[in-house]
A and B are shown apart, each in its own frame.
Chain A
Amino acid sequence: MKLGKPEAEELLYSEARLLDDRRLEEWLEAFTGDGIYWLPLEENKDPAQFPSLVYEDHRVRLQRVDLLRQKDHFAQLPPSRTVHNITNVTVTDDGDRGGEAVVHCNLTLYELRPGHERQPGLGKQRVLAGRCEYRFRHEGRWLIALKKVLLLNRDLPMENLSFIV
């Protein structure tokens, strides 16, 4: 299967929409069974030996969505509103020679927890930026085998990051 650029863009946009709409169960379904959601601290380090912000397989992603659905998960009470913007999409490998298609893009993520800005942690609009590598595998449809986001501020002190990037 060959992944064209318009199709790659549509895949990325639809994932962004799922997250911004908090359709988190559908987000889980966008991954392959062995898919990984990864926010490294340093690119190209073995996540089993070197810290990552998250390195989550299907089981842990299920846990994360479970947590985000609980009403007394206070770091997300109220929950974050997000706007995921995807730009600079490049299909690095269209997967036509077999195996996974590789897509690089940039992410600009606006985040805000509603509430009065005079309450610490609320009412403040934040921007996160990241460089992304996606790997897609065709299993009847294109699914995410890897979502890797290298955040610009990954090694700086960060406030509440309890939403999905």
Chain B
Amino acid sequence: MATSTGPISDLIVETATDFKVSTRIYSDGAIFEEELERIFERTWVYVAHESEVQEPGDYLTTYIGRQPVIVSRGADGQIHVMVNACRHRGNTVCREERGNTATFRCAYHGWVYKCSGELLNITERGRYPEGFGEDLTGLVQVPRVTNYRGLVFASFNPQGESVEEYLGGVKKYVDLWIERSPTGRIRVLPPHKFLVSGNWKYQVDNSVEGYHAWHVHKSAFMTMRHSLASQADYGGEREEGRIIGFEHGHGVMERPGMTSMDKAIFAEYFDCLVKSYGDERAREIVYGRNIVVFPNLALLENNIRVVSPRAVDSTEMYSYFFDFEGVPDPVNSDNLRDSQWRRGTMSFVNSDDLEMFSSNQGGARATRLHWTTIAKGMHDETVLPEGGRAGKHIHDETGVRAVYREWARLMSGNGQEQEELRR
């Protein structure tokens, strides 16, 4: 049980009193290459929201790990995810970020594919040997694609758990997040895009890590206080809420009353939710939550974060805004305003997180510091009957540990299984 770069116990160690993580997992390029294969090409990875490919012919281009893919809605109404490389010479077939088309035509020699990926035409077909191309049915399809209530996940792993099984304990919270829309449907808007000089895992674990909030975001809290628009305060160890880490690296951090929505607008919004789901469920829905779906998705009240690794020390993060269906316009405008203010490229909150990830990366080069630690609250966790561990305090590092437990499990996966994946 080891990565090709050495035993996993050199990288992650969990004892009764500490949970240690090596700086190498953030800075070693060989480990990064293995992550792409063992994590991004093996688990369920979020690729798009269904509203981005609403109509037949709609498509977008994105990445699963570092594999370029096209996500499209075929004429059959189904969502397809396929490798964005021509079967002839491997040229990028689709260079547009998004659009609508009946076919993709490779620029190099004119091979044509349906927007669902089937090969329609090889140019100058007569100059190929008889029997050529029987295996060339179309673009390489990502074998499994699932639309879970609008969230589209894809997996290069041809077998394994369904998305619902993969979500496990966090599914309940993903459902609550989806039901923030009175109809369960949202329309995703163009994102803000960040480029971070830091390893991808910093962004993932940070979304369910409350310990840093006061230290990193104190300036934003103080600005809110100064502007009298908010009584934002920090309760330190008295802060309410809780943190849960689940199997497969997922997590949820929840706390009451994080809406900054105008009171009158919120009242209208809440009415819509009560009509759809009833009073009790509506209250549960509007509770403040950060949800992480490992390895690349975070769902926040009015924002979707999608993490995309580029290199061991370079990560893209897309911050998506969205409209709820079935609410008055001011609800969506107010969410957009707030989300841009907090989560955007030039936001008051996120910009300081990004600075932490790049200085994390600066420190991760210091391999003479072998071990870092994520032990906060590990002595005081409850194992939940439905699976997962709940931290006693919202700022415990329970969610972070869930990420790295799963990381260790995937990175130490047995060799035979890896061979099968390589086919």
Which residues from chain A sit less than 8 Å from chain B, CB to CB?
A: 39, 41-42, 48-55, 59-60, 62-64, 66-67, 70, 72-75, 77, 118-121, 155-162
- Interface contact B216-A120, CB-CB below 8 Å: no
- Interface contact A63-B189, CB-CB below 8 Å: no
Is B379 part of the contact surface with A, judged by Cβ < 8 Å? no
Q: Is the interface of A mostly helix, strand, loop or mixed?
A: loop
Q: List 8 tightest A-B contacts by C-beta distance, closest first.
A: A120-B358, A120-B197, A157-B195, A73-B219, A75-B351, A157-B193, A121-B358, A70-B219
- Taken together as a complex, chains A and B put the C-alpha atoms of A47 and B233 apart, in Å, by 30
Is B265 part of the contact surface with A, judged by Cβ < 8 Å? no
* A82 to B: closest C-beta gap in Å: 14
A50-B190, A161-B345 given; name 11 further pairs at CB < 8 Å.
A48-B337, A50-B189, A52-B340, A53-B340, A64-B348, A67-B219, A70-B222, A72-B218, A75-B354, A121-B359, A161-B351
Chain A, residue nearest B227 (CB): A63
Q: Is the interface of B mostly helix, strand, loop or mixed?
A: helix
Which residues from chain B sit less than 8 Å from chain A, CB to CB?
A: 189-198, 216, 218-220, 222-224, 226-227, 229, 313, 316, 321, 323, 329, 332-333, 336-337, 340-341, 344-346, 348, 351-352, 354-356, 358-359, 361-362
From B191, B227, B313, B348, contact of A59 by CB (8 A): B227
- Taken together as a complex, chains A and B put the C-alpha atoms of A72 and B223 apart, in Å, by 12
- Interface contact B344-A48, CB-CB below 8 Å: no
Residue contacts A-B, CB under 8 angstroms, 6 given: A48-B329, A48-B336, A70-B222, A120-B359, A121-B359, A159-B354
- Interface contact B194-A54, CB-CB below 8 Å: no
- Interface contact B362-A119, CB-CB below 8 Å: yes
- Taken together as a complex, chains A and B put the C-alpha atoms of A156 and B310 apart, in Å, by 14
- Taken together as a complex, chains A and B put the C-alpha atoms of A50 and B335 apart, in Å, by 11
- Taken together as a complex, chains A and B put the C-alpha atoms of A59 and B192 apart, in Å, by 22
- Interface contact A53-B361, CB-CB below 8 Å: no
